[in-house]
Structure 1
């Protein structure tokens, strides 16, 4: 994301990652690779120390990912089951040394035990209850039995509700219905929507990767996991698939909304820039680190001022805006933001609720911003503004300001006990502010022609370490220490552990991380 450093002693994020020598595998790789031994050791260590975080004989562990540092330290992320049922909020990361000895654990919950796994409420009743909570047109409501472990553990019907919103955009939420009482325990969105910036409509002529097939060019990027870009056709369905863009001469769009290919060029370029950022900076091979590209659907819905990521279709969807205040949302930081939701889902899986939901949104803003900086385009140079590029207002009005989040009229500059009750797009201000301060420091400055003036919540003066180092610390914490229930206090602790791993405890980078979080009232 950013290329300059305030402290000349800071290495780039890519150099730091290489120095640490972390190797990661995911999914089936974790079970079939040489890391299987690391998983076995981690399970053994976890069983031996299970009393510390409520692990007992009724619980199973399933490895989601494995990462091994150069010194042999292994970090295995597990999902838990209880008597065969999946546990929502039961994830944990077990850390062992080169010999397999216990080094510690980060657990989302300390207790997952429920008295009974037999429901008293029928699945059909739960489906109806969950559907009634939706503020969109419901198409399906599908319950499965699970244990909900955020707070007091409960047997629940985990119910996925999908449908269509007011602008014909895809809509969805997961609703947890107590399987004993029928009460709604919790719920959060599963169609992760957010607005961003703009590319090819906004960047001029760019190079994109396409594939020649049967005498016609397809908007399929074979260099990045066969990522596809499709026309959502402004349909009223949930748009899980569209019409693949094709072209006879491999010249796409006309820099104008009059050609539907133009928005597709923007999305295609943004996905490629995000893929390259993760690969070149952190060695991550795609969203799930398995080399598989996602699909992008442009022209989704009607006058939809939003964009979204969906785990279920492994795709991004982009609205065309309302044509009055906002144009199409096919921009660099939007692509980076939405793809990062996928990365977060594949790693810490931060629950889209309360403080963990704000941290989820903030992570997407942080990495979307970093995509802008690393892409280094002339049409959309890196900045700490979210959504300024597709604004049709004069002067352009960003959706969010990382240096002083409250400037949008709703976001939080500082942590307080009530932050978790805000919409996650506004509670994200705490994390965004911390990242800006860690990167650039407090006070007034101008970067790439944009003026910033970041305050602190405790009156302190913070000196930044550069955005590359800040992003390296953030990513390490996301992939190694954070879990689905991580709060802002947990985010600070995880980033301090990450800073110690990367730069050493007591280093300038470590101290700056502590100072940045203190400056937003997270102590």
Structure 2
């Protein structure tokens, strides 16, 4: 864990009818030409709709910095951005110091309204894909490189030394299950140094009926397993959506299909046959699960509303940002109680629930699954049993909740609960609670050092809890008739900024800053940066982000509770050698009576290209060591942090020391200054 304080980061169609009583699901199709304005989603009040090109406001009406918001690019404009990045990828590789034989491949480009661009690249080394090697090149409006965020710690020398021919003795056998892929040689850059590896994909079906797409990476020389992660990402949702809604269809009297031409040609098909849903009169479903069209209506409508949310609130034109719609598949399996996103088919798939009576096709399920697609095509958060997997799953929960609030459906009020109507538990309780995740019996409320390996649906609780606290604050509160009482790790309050601001901060961090191996500590830093760019350095919004993360035990509070007594500072610059012995910087404390307080403030400013390399400790006059930070995989540049230390057992006066050690080879830095405040 690498806690940080807020960093001073400045700028560089037809309207549908209302929903009716529960249990009635009938849809009337609307044909819209592909270049027409997207129809407003059913149930969305005009006041809650963001208009592209108009500066959106925060929840309290405070405008955000328009330059830091994503530009509303058309598919053609996005294609032009990608082609431009492809044309200069060789020059970019030289600019950022990549070695011979290492090439860049553009994955995505995000442009802000002020002309800043954020380009994600995958790396290829001597013809082999580099797994874990994604990086983001940030360029200012003038085109100059401002900064580079890297997922890998691998150095230029490390890549130069790695072998590129794999011995056949350790080649894994190809799996025989349907959907498996033959092993391929890759470079694995997710560890301490790049290594030649084999990647194989095991297909088939998991025990619960979910398709399997398990990626297994093994060392090409030793056969040791290096990593594994799932390509099919699952999630749970609400019961059957109710109401009469307008949906996008195509065709003419006597022959209509569930094809939404206004939203990239999104289609909804029957998973049992693969056939596109068709109808003669363009009035779909009858409100019961016995009619196969009913689940199709729910999925089609939910996909449309989610498309509109990402386009109208965040300026993203479809899951990939290219204006191309995905597809929805309903009636998957037999009694399958889940839903999942699969990048291979670029589709969402929904089961029919217990006894095939409760299709998992509600709006928040569609939003959850479509967000997995957005995540895959932006940050690419690895769906594993570590931090990145939990952040991936939380991102889907966060935007599923945001879509509910965007929808504003009076018959299904937005909430911070997941699955409150499906009753999978059999007692009427939800599947997940964002205000206090542990109430589901398995999710984490707060980060802890012993987190270890955990199902992403449970580790997601940390970021879900953060997002609730940032949006609504802690303690007792009622929102849309639902009562919440959110605790905090340190029993201190969190200032709420509203979901309207919180969602913009998370989206900016996801699409411009987060990396595939993101940790909770890195997510904190990236959301702090996003808040600073949107709302200003040291703004209430940026400080609220710091408070909300501290409230789930990720980092420290940005501005207290801190002591306000005398400070003692050492501003002598001290070089930190690469993988060397710890350097020591002293300060002498005088004139403070008695012992130190329970919250000594330790402010540290270190310049280093990979802050995760640093191991930092405070040493008291009697030699007692207080560990402030240990070595992590955090690839963020520089460390400017404030730590709180309970040093009440120590006599205040005397010589205190800061110990700094670089614990990983490849980079050097320097301690610029540090300060003790009593």
What TM-score, normalized by structure 2, do the two folds share? Answer: 0.69
- Counterparts in 2 of 1:36 and 1:316: CA distance versus 1, 3 Å: closer
Distance 1:387 1:157, change over 3 A: same
**Contact 1:26 1:65 (C-alpha < 8 Å) held by counterparts:** no
Q: In the superposition, relative to structure 1, how do residues 372 and 498 fare at CA in structure 2: closer, same or farther (>3 Å)?
A: same
What residue is the counterpart of 2:220 in the other structure?
179
Distance 2:399 2:198 in 1: 34
Matches within 5 A, 1:84-99: 84-99=127-142
Taking the TM superposition and a 5 Å limit, the aligned residue runs for 1:44-55 are: 44=91, 47-50=94-97, 55=98
- Aligned partner (choices 307, 330, 338) of residue 339 of structure 2: 307
- Alignment counterpart, residue 350 of structure 1, candidates 373, 378, 381: 381
Q: How does 1:109-188 map to 2 (within 5 A)?
A: 109-111=152-154, 113=159, 115-121=162-168, 125-128=171-174, 131=175, 139-152=179-192, 153-188=194-229
Equivalent residue, structure 1, for 2:474: 442
- Report if aligned partners of 2:213, 2:230 keep a CA contact under 8 Å in 1: yes
Deviation at 1:370, TM superposition (A): 0.8
Question: CA separation in 2, counterparts of 1:282 and 1:43?
Answer: 31
Counterpart Cα distance in 2 of 1:437 and 1:91: 31
Deviations 1:153-193 (A, max 9, x none): 22222212211233544222111122222232211111111
- Cα 1:185/1:38, change in 2 over 3 Å: closer
Report the Cα distance in structure 1 between the residues aligned to 2:88 and 2:141, rounded to whole angstroms.
10
Structure 1 residues 291 and 70: CA distance shift in structure 2, 3 A:
closer
Q: How far does residue 380 in structure 1 lie from its aligned partner after superposition?
A: 2.0
Rounded to whole Å, the distance in 1 between the matches of 2:59 and 2:300 is 30
Instruction: Check whether the contact 2:74–2:317 (CA below 8 A) recurs between aligned residues.
Output: no
Q: 1:197 is matched with which residue?
A: 238
SS in 2 for 1:323: helix
For the structure 1 residues 13 and 428, does the alpha-carbon distance in structure 2 shift closer, same or farther, using more than 3 Å as the test?
farther
- Structure 2, unaligned stretches of length 5 or more? 1-43, 49-56, 556-678
Residue 545 of structure 2: aligned partner = 513
1:520 partner SS: coil
What is the alpha-carbon distance in structure 2 between the residues aligned to residue 393 and residue 158 of structure 1? 38
- Asked if the contact 1:307/1:316 (under 8 Å) is kept, the reply is yes
Tell me which residue corresponds to 2:653: none
Distance 1:520 1:231, change over 3 A: same
Cα 1:176–1:393, aligned 2, differ >3 Å: closer, same or farther? closer
C-alpha separation in 1, matches of 2:179 and 2:115 = 49
Q: Does the aligned pair in 1 maintain the 2:285–2:294 contact within 8 Å?
A: yes
Shift, 1:36, TM fit: 5.1
Query: Would the aligned equivalents of 2:230 and 2:383 in 1 still touch at CA under 8 Å?
Result: yes
Q: Distance in 2 between matches of 1:423 and 1:13?
A: 38
Of 50, 65, 70, 1:22 maps to: 70
Number of residues paired by the alignment? 498
Counterpart for residue 216 of structure 1: 255
Structure 1 pair 16/269, CA: closer, same or farther in 2 (3 Å)? Answer: farther
SS in 2 for 1:490: helix
Q: Specify the alignment match of 2:450 in structure 1.
A: 418
User: What is the CA–CA distance in structure 2 between the aligned matches of 1:365 and 1:450, rounded to whole Å?
Assistant: 18
**Alignment partner, residue 101 of structure 1:** 144
**What do residues 28-54 of structure 1 show as CA deviations (whole Å, max 9, x unaligned)?**
966x6256556667864653343xxxx
Asked if 2 retains the 8 angstrom alpha-carbon contact of 1:77 and 1:91, the reply is yes
CA deviations over 1:75-122 (Å, ceiling 9, x no partner): 211111111211111111111223333321111112062620111136
Indicate the larger mover: 482-491 or 106-115. 106-115
Q: After superposition, what is the alpha-carbon deviation per residue over 1:339-395, rounded to whole angstroms, capped at 9, x for unaligned?
A: 000000000000111100100000000001111111111232211011112226665
Distance 1:257 1:70, change over 3 A: closer
User: 2:254–2:279: 8 Å Cα contact kept in structure 1?
Assistant: no
What is aligned with 1:377? 409
Equivalent residue of 1:95, what SS?
strand
Task: Determine the structure 2 residue equivalent to 1:406.
Answer: 438
Does the 8 Å contact 2:131/2:190 carry over to 1? Answer: yes
Deviation at 1:73, TM superposition (A): 2.4
Question: Residues 14 and 174 from structure 1, CA distance in 2 versus in 1: closer, same or farther, beyond 3 angstroms?
Answer: farther
Cα deviation, residue 204, structure 1:
2.0
Distance 1:138 1:34 in 2: 38
- Structure 1 residue 13: Cα displacement: 10
Once the two structures are superposed, the pairs formed by residues 194-273 of structure 1 within 5 Å of their partners are: 194-198=235-239, 201-212=240-251, 215-233=254-272, 242-273=274-305
**Pairing 1:501–2:542 present:** no
Deviations 1:379-423 (A, max 9, x none): 322110111122266652211100000000000000112334111
Q: Which stretch shows the higher mean deviation, 175-184 or 438-447? A: 175-184
2:109 is equivalent to residue 66 of structure 1 = yes
- 372, 376, 379: which one aligns with 1:341: 372
When normalised by structure 1's length, the TM-score is 0.89
Aligned residue for 2:359, secondary structure, equals: coil
CA distance in 1, matches of 2:95, 2:425: 60
Residue by residue over 1:287-330, the C-alpha shift from the partner in whole angstroms, topping out at 9 and shown as x without a partner, is: 00111111111110111111000000000110111239x82211
Cα distance change on mapping 1:314 and 1:157 into 2, 3 Å: same
Q: Does 1:427 align with 2:459?
A: yes
Deviation by residue 1:488-521 (Cα, 9 ceiling, x = unmatched): 1010111111111111111111000111011111
- Which has more helix, going by share of residues? 1
- Could you tell me whether the CA contact under 8 Å between 1:121 and 1:182 is conserved in 2? no
State how far apart, in whole Å, the 1-side matches of 2:149 and 2:460 are. Answer: 22
Compared CA separation, residues 321 and 219, structure 1 to 2 (3 A): same
CA contact (8 A) 2:289 2:358 kept: no
Aligned to 1:332, which of 347, 352, 363? 363
Distance in 1 (CA, whole Å) between partners of 2:265 and 2:549 is 39
